[in-house]
Structure 1
Amino acid sequence: MEPMNLLIIMDDEHNKKMLGCYGHPTVKTPNLDRLAARGTRFTNAYTNSPICVPARSAFATGRYVHQTGYWDNAIAYDGEVRSWGHVLQEHGHPVVSIGKLHYTNEEADTGFDQQIIPMHIEGGVGDLHGLLREPLPVRHQSRDMATRIGPGDSTYTGYDRDIADEACQWLQGEGNASRGKPWTLFTSFISPHSPLVAPQAYYDMYPPESIVLPKKRPAGFQHPWWDALNACYIFDASFADDHQRRIAIASYYALCTYIDDQVGRVLDTLAATGLDKTTRVIFLSDHGDNMGARGLWGKSNMYEESAGIPMIAAGPGIASGATCDTPVSHIDFWPTILEAVGVPPQAREAESHPGRSLFESMRMGEAEAAQRVVLSEYHAAGSISACYMIRKGDWKYIHYTGFRPELFNLREDPEEVMDRAADPACQDVLADLEDELRQRLDPVAADERAKAAQRALIEQHGGYEALERRGGGSYTPVPGEEVRLIQG
């Protein structure tokens, strides 16, 4: 593949079902639809952890969360594990970030020549309240999901405008003037992440009365892991009625369109400067959002709405109007980025990483793609124990440490409403996927390591009771914004 520039655009908490190019009948995303039309859309892309900080650490390092120990939103990437940015720097490739990183702080050497208006974990310590898992507290800040909704402006939408401005300026300036080795620009937005407040013009596109409510929790469904999550994250219980839920969903749809416009501004600038002829573009999200499906909101579980992500690649050498059904994930960006800009193969292969280049996945045959395994894991806020996902072929296996698993055939049951884990006809599949998980980690040992690291950090900050009294924020403040903690 010919080396050339790479523009990576990430947004935050974008349910992969809620883009026009992924088949949503209502959500308007014309710019991302055009990108997909001239590129390749990945139908089975996943986060390696359905929460911001661990997902972004896996994206940066090309390694699984259990390999690096960046477990949750208070234990963030600090540069101690090599990133693809470090490798680019060593080989003389310019590498710049604009917007949200969610690492420890700006001073940490995380592999960027320049961080432009970066967002990092709140107050340099992150979500300390999310460390509390033994026992799980009530996260009263969850009420924001139901109460901070509707039309208006927020610090997040303002920050996203600034990120788009900075990206356009960089492309017109440094990016267009560069005559050295190919560059990588990582542009990272926040929307459609909550608070679910959208500019009026976008909100008006989605009248709440027209919103169709999402699928409900399966009748009679009970699961201790789920029950604990719902008792901690009181998202759904915080809504007064279905009308309020419709306003929240309408606001989320509006934010999807809003962020599409910001992405469109960046893509238009890329074309206006002529850089589109020498630059590949990859769009993705860090994780999804349940957005009311099964009565769940936010992320933090392994269903498609939460663990699945949109991903689109376009540019020279990438097939137009194509889809790639091979399962892929964030860890695949380590080899992808290095290959895209031309880091020599011997340097790319010098370090052992579990990912595989997206360019290889796009060329993969059906039989080989059916054997590709994706792993996601969750050790953070709201989880009574670790949760893991294995995706292989048509099947998804969800392993809840200490509790019964779930098994879904996504080809036959894309909405994940028929759990096949107890089906006698599926026991060989269940055993195979559990074996795939155990080949990659010991689920109990990883759970214990995460909790031990979290207990140690809790003690450093005064103990369980002190952090429970302190409360937590419902979102990370943008640069210059005060941390807003909510107590019970």
Structure 2
Amino acid sequence: MAQAKNILFVMFDQLRWDYLSCYGHEHLHTPNIDRLAAKGVRFDRAYIQSPICGSSRMSTYTGRYVHSHGATGNGIPLKVGEMTMGDHLRKAGMDCWLVGKTHMRADAEGMARLGLAPDSLIGVRVAECGFDVFERDDGMLPEGPDGSYDPDGAKGFNEHLRAKGYESDNPWHDFANSGLDADGNVLSGWFLKNSDQAANIDEPDSETPYLTTRGMDFIKQADGPWCCHLSYIKPHWPYIVPEPYASMYGPEHIQPVNRSDAERQNAHPVFKAFMDTKVGQTFSRQDVRDAVIPAYMGLIKQADDQMGRLFDWLENTGRMEDTMIVLTSDHGDFLGDHWMGEKTFFQDASTKVPLIIYDPSSEADATRGTVCNALVESIDLAPTFVEVAGGAVADHILEGESLLPILRGARTETNRDFAICEYDYSTSPLVDRLDVSVKEANIYMLTTKRWKLIHPMGGFRPMLFDLESDPQELVDLGDSPEHGDILDQMYDHLLAWSARNSQRQTRSTAQINAMRGASNGTGVMIGVYGEDDAPKRATIKYRDRTAPDWRDRHGKKAGPKSE
């Protein structure tokens, strides 16, 4: 019988769920990713746990909600002690390796407090989100007057480019993410007006092919069982792509924008603040969408071609027969929908992601090519991988649930009634604009299959969408008196979620069950009046015992009790 021995966990950065042809895009054809969907299960309601790179990934890697792991945004370290996918998989006998991006920030203070040397094996794993690192490439090397956002960004990739002859102090920017005019001037990809330029790089040398090659390099030398997190940088901005992809799409291939004038005019104050950011205002312009979206589509088309290269190689080497392949994204991209850019709000353009899982196991034959409508969260991947590795899911730590029963036809739904997504915008200028404190700068999203609640802290009213009658999420019902009962139900869900036990991580459910009443045989007698009020076995150490009388050791007998 075919069986999944290894796991190839592919994640793209900022890939919208509806920008693949298997999810319905009219003009962007992605036959290779579609091919994977035909071999596996395509999930139509997969939600991330935070609409920003760092905290979304930390949820995926820990299998825990942001509220639990505490790494609430980019630059917020994952605290020492949080177990990750790698910790759980190694316990089950499976190695866990990284090729690409994590956006992990190490808890350097916590490591120093505990004496964890950064160059020790455990120190490296703690600093790298539990992965052993084949190559880390967070793919970002921007530079400004105050230095670089990530001095270690694109390190291996820049070395690769220099070895190829791309001479620059930052070839990541000057070649891979910029165009070139007729006079040899660099046209920076950071400026959206240059998105319609072709990146000044030979396409096989660019980031997506490079990481595909590095993933294949890892698999060639790997001894199983292994999990390889092949984590791509694109189609995340800068939005610029080399030829032939730069010329593949034009404004005529852009899908209609999803927004309305009424949505903007009647916007909730928090929603309006996000619309009014610089990126929101910019992506509300059609000329910006006309420049950016064809490049975004080109980046996705390039990614699909690289998936074809990778899948063909896996098939030709026989590895497709024992490797589970999971393909997803860390969040989406508004691209002007709802008058916003970027991803830091809660409509499906941002919070719903593609999720396709191919399981080579014979048990999965019945579900090949099917579509699952279950509510799924990114935190479900870690327990799924643990089950594939043959381990026991630590359900007192991992807050998701394994998807193997769905993949193998035993179930069609998860056990959850709702999915959760959280965003902490405390490091954003929006804190001042909305006049909230750092502790209040949190927004929670709770979605069922029918309804979506967005709850901003800070005393603001909720937002509510009916996903059945308004799948475009254009009509906010949060202040509708007719929907008071629905709001009550959604808040009941939110209360139940917030009151869950997520911090008891040092004892499993089985251990807790075993502890119940375990002290009864250890001599602890609480509330027992006499020896005959407890089982004889429990009091055996206290019966039929003698001892010399030491009460008058110094000849001072106690007198009679006073009347």
Question: Does TM, scored on the shorter chain, surpass 0.5?
Answer: yes
What residue number does 1:136 align with?
A: none
Deviation for aligned residue 1:114 = 2.9
Query: Number of residues paired by the alignment?
Result: 418
Deviation for aligned residue 1:144 = 4.1
- Matches of 2:402 and 2:252, distance apart in 1: 44
| 1:393-432 paired onto structure 2 within 5 Å | 393-401=449-457, 402-432=459-489
**Identity among equivalent pairs (%):** 31
What residue number does 1:388 align with?
A: 444
1:401-441 per-position Cα deviation (integer Å, ceiling 9, x unaligned): 22222222223322112223334443222211112112222
Bigger RCO of structures 1 and 2 (CA < 8 A, at least 6 apart): 1
1:262-290 per-position Cα deviation (integer Å, ceiling 9, x unaligned): 22222222111101111111100001111
Matching residue within 303, 324, 327 for 2:347:
303
- Matches of 1:364 and 1:410, distance apart in 2: 28
- Matches of 1:91 and 1:102, distance apart in 2: 25
What residue number does 2:335 align with?
A: 291
TM-score by length of 1: 0.79
CA 208–125 in structure 1, closer or farther in 2 if over 3 Å, else same: closer
What residue number does 1:225 align with?
A: 270
Contact (CA 8 Å) 2:102, 2:231: kept in 1 or not? yes
Q: Is 1:174 aligned to 2:174, yes or no?
A: no
What residue number does 1:116 align with?
A: 135
Deviation for aligned residue 1:170 = 2.2
Matching residue within 282, 286, 291 for 1:238:
282
Alignment-mate amino acid for residue 306 of structure 1 = S
- Matches of 1:369 and 1:335, distance apart in 2: 13
1:179-201 per-position Cα deviation (integer Å, ceiling 9, x unaligned): x5x21111000111111101231
SS in 1 for 2:237: coil
CA 240–331 in structure 1, closer or farther in 2 if over 3 Å, else same: closer
Deviation for aligned residue 1:332 = 0.9
What residue number does 1:335 align with?
A: 383
- Matches of 1:234 and 1:350, distance apart in 2: 42
| 1:48-447 paired onto structure 2 within 5 Å | 48-77=49-78, 80-104=81-105, 107=124, 108-119=127-138, 144=190, 146-153=192-199, 158-171=206-219, 173-175=220-222, 178=223, 180=224, 182-219=225-262, 220-231=265-276, 233-238=277-282, 241-316=285-360, 317-318=363-364, 319-343=367-391, 345=392, 348-349=393-394, 351-362=396-407, 363=409, 369=414, 371-380=416-425, 382=428, 384=431, 385-401=441-457, 402-441=459-498
Alignment-mate amino acid for residue 302 of structure 1 = F
Alignment-mate amino acid for residue 36 of structure 1 = A
Name the stretch that deviates more: 261-270 or 289-298: 261-270
- Matches of 1:124 and 1:272, distance apart in 2: 42
- Matches of 1:21 and 1:88, distance apart in 2: 31
What residue number does 2:158 align with?
A: none
Which runs of 5 or more residues in structure 2 are unaligned? 107-117, 119-123, 142-146, 152-188, 432-440, 500-563
Deviation for aligned residue 1:203 = 2.4
- Matches of 2:258 and 2:226, distance apart in 1: 44
TM-score by length of 2: 0.69
RMSD of aligned Cα (Å) = 2.9
Contact (CA 8 Å) 1:36, 1:314: kept in 2 or not? yes
Contact (CA 8 Å) 2:461, 2:479: kept in 1 or not? no
- Matches of 1:369 and 1:247, distance apart in 2: 40
Contact (CA 8 Å) 1:281, 1:314: kept in 2 or not? yes
CA 216–124 in structure 1, closer or farther in 2 if over 3 Å, else same: same
What residue number does 1:17 align with?
A: 18
Deviation for aligned residue 1:370 = 8.4
1:139-190 per-position Cα deviation (integer Å, ceiling 9, x unaligned): xxxx94633412322799823221111112222x223xx2x5x211110001
SS in 2 for 1:323: strand
- Matches of 1:117 and 1:73, distance apart in 2: 17
Which runs of 5 or more residues in structure 1 are unaligned? 128-142, 443-488
CA 25–330 in structure 1, closer or farther in 2 if over 3 Å, else same: same
Name the stretch that deviates more: 419-428 or 43-52: 419-428
Contact (CA 8 Å) 2:49, 2:420: kept in 1 or not? yes
Contact (CA 8 Å) 2:69, 2:79: kept in 1 or not? no
